[in-house]
Amino acid sequence: MGKHLVIAGGGHAHMLTLANLHKFIEKGHKVTVIGPSPHHYYSGMGPGMLGKIYTPEEIRFATKEVVEKQGGVFMQDRVNRIDPESKTVYLESEQKIPYDVLSCNVGSHVPMTIVSGTDRDVFPVKPIEQLTRVQERILELTSQQEISIGIIGGGPSAAEIAGNIWRLGKYYGENMPEITIFSGEKFMACFTKNVRNRIFRSLTKRGIEILEQDFVREVKTGQITMKSGQEHNKDLILLAHGIKPYPVFQKSGLPIGSDGELLVNKYLQCTTYAEIFGGGDCVYFRDKPLDKVGVYAVRENPVLFHNLMASLDGTDLHAFDPGGEYLLIFNMGDGTGILRKKRLVMGGRLAFIIKNYIDRRFMKKFQSME
C-alpha cells in the first residue's frame, strides 16, 4: 500500500524531487506539495530581475504546474507547525495534513523587528517576488521626482541590490535615485580584503554611498534612525540585513540549530524523527554548519530525492557530502561581476558572463519540466 509524502516548500533543494514526482506516484505513493506561491523564484537572479536584466518569468519555476502535471497535489499555503508524534502538518489556513514522510525546504525571511510605526515603502528583499513591487515603486517615484533610497545590510545581498537599483535608475528611471547602504560595523566583513575592495569600488565609483561604523536602531516610513542617534530621511527603504528561518521548527518542538533551523544529520534527516527530512536555508547540518548560500541547496538535491524514496521504500539512505569550496559570483548591476573561488578573485564583464551562463543553464534545466 502506498504512503503519503508531503513536501513543504518548492525551493532549490527540492528541484530534483519535484522533477521526479511521477516516480513516487508510479510506485503508488501520494504526494502533496505545500508552497506559498504557484511559482518559486530563483534567488541568485533576484537582484538581476530588480535591475531588469531578467524578467520575472525568466527566474521562476512553475511549481504548481509541475506538481499537478505529474499527478501530485499542490496546496497554496504555508506550514505553521509540525506535530511529529501524530505525523501531522498544520497549515496557516488551519488545515491538517497527515504524512508518512515529510521533507522541509521552507526557506527563510528577512526579520522586520527594527521596523516600527508605519512601514509604507519599507520592503524586505525576501521573498524574491517582492522585488517586482520594489521595482515598480522605484520607477513610480523616480518618474515624479528625485528620490533617496536606503539599503540596510552589509553583505552580498545589499551590494547586489544597490548595484541593480543603480542600473534600474540609470536605464529605466526618469530621475537617478540617491542610494545609500547602511552596512553596520564593516561592509562585506565576512570576505577577504580583495573581494571587499573590489565590491566597494564598483559601487562607490557610481555614486553609491556606503556608511560604516554605525548600526540601524529603528526604521519607519521615510526615516532610518541609527544607534548613534543620527537620523536619515529616505523615500524608500530596503531591508537586506540577514535572513532567519521561519519559526516552524521551534514552534514544533523539533531539534534546532543555532538560529532555529531544523537540525539534520548526514542523511539530511531530523536527528530525532527519522521520517522528517530537510534542505536549504531552513536546516542546520549537524556535521558541518554550512553557509546560507544556494549552492548547498543545489548539492542537496540528489541526496534528498534518493533519501525520500528510500525512506518510503525502506531501503538504505545516502549521506550528504557538502563538497569543497564553492564558486561565488556577485552581479554588480553594471554588466560586470566579481568572482571568488578559493584564492582566485576576478572582476569585470567576464565574471558576469560566467554567472549569467550558469544561472540560465540552471533555470533551463528545471524549467524544462514545466
- At the fourth CATH level, the homologous superfamily of domain 122-242 is FAD/NAD(P)-binding domain (3.50.50.60)
Q: Is 153 left (phi over 0), alpha (psi -120 to 50) or beta?
A: left
pLDDT tens across 306-349, in order?
Answer: 999 999 999 999 999 999 889 999 999 999 999 999 899 999 99
Cell of 222: 521615510
pLDDT of residue 370: 65
Q: What percent of the chain has pLDDT over 70?
A: 99
Please state, rounded to an integer, the average pLDDT across all residues of the chain.
Answer: 95
Rounded Cα gap, residues 363 and 41, in angstroms:
10
Average pLDDT over residues 120-125: 96
Fold of domain 4-109+243-325: FAD/NAD(P)-binding domain (3.50.50)
pLDDT at 365 exceeding the cut of 90 = no
Strands 148-152 and 244-245, sheet pairing: unpaired
Classify the C-alpha dihedral 272-91-301-321 as positive or negative. Answer: negative
- Please tell me the predicted confidence (pLDDT) of residue 138: 98
Give this prediction's pTM.
0.94
**Looking at residue 118, what is its pLDDT?**
85
For residue range 6-43, list pLDDT tens digits in order: 999 988 999 999 999 999 999 999 999 999 999 999 99
Does residue 358 have a pLDDT over 90?
yes
Task: Read off the pLDDT of residues 51-79 as tens digits, 9 standing for 90 and up.
Answer: 999 999 999 999 999 999 999 999 999 99
In this predicted structure, the answer to whether residue 368 has a pLDDT above a threshold of 80 is: no
Provide the phi-psi class of 209: left if phi over 0, else alpha when psi is between -120 and 50, else beta: beta
pLDDT at residue 367 greater than cutoff 90: no
Quick one: pLDDT at residue 1?
74
Cα dihedral 78/251/282/273 (nearest 10): -110
Measured over the CA atoms of residue 162, residue 165, residue 169 and residue 172, the dihedral's sign is positive
C-alpha to C-alpha distances, 284 to 106, 253, 259, 264, 274, nearest whole angstrom: 13, 15, 8, 6, 16
Q: What is the pLDDT of residues 285-296, one digit of tens each?
A: 999 889 888 899
CA distances to 141, 158, 206, 309 from 194, rounded to whole Å, are: 36, 18, 19, 44
**Domain assignments of the chain as residue spans, ordered by start:** 4-109+243-325, 122-242, 327-370
Grid cell digits, residue 297: 541547496
Alpha carbon distance 179, 150 (integer Å)? 6
Measure Cα distances from 270 to 5, 14, 113, 274, 277 in Å: 15, 16, 29, 6, 6
For 44-94, give the secondary structure using H, E and C. Answer: HHHHHHHCCCCCHHHHEECHHHHHHHCCCEEEECCEEEEECCCCEEEECCC
Which 3 state secondary structure label does DSSP give 135? helix
- Give the Å distances, CA to CA, from 233 to 63, 91, 147, 221, 237: 40, 39, 10, 9, 10
Cα dihedral angle (255, 294, 9, 252), rounded to 10 degrees?
Answer: 10
Between CA 160 and CA 10 the distance in angstroms is: 24
Among 359, 298, 294, 329, which Cα is nearest to 53's? Answer: 359
Please write the tens of the pLDDT for every residue from 192-232.
Answer: 999 999 999 999 999 999 999 999 999 999 999 999 999 99
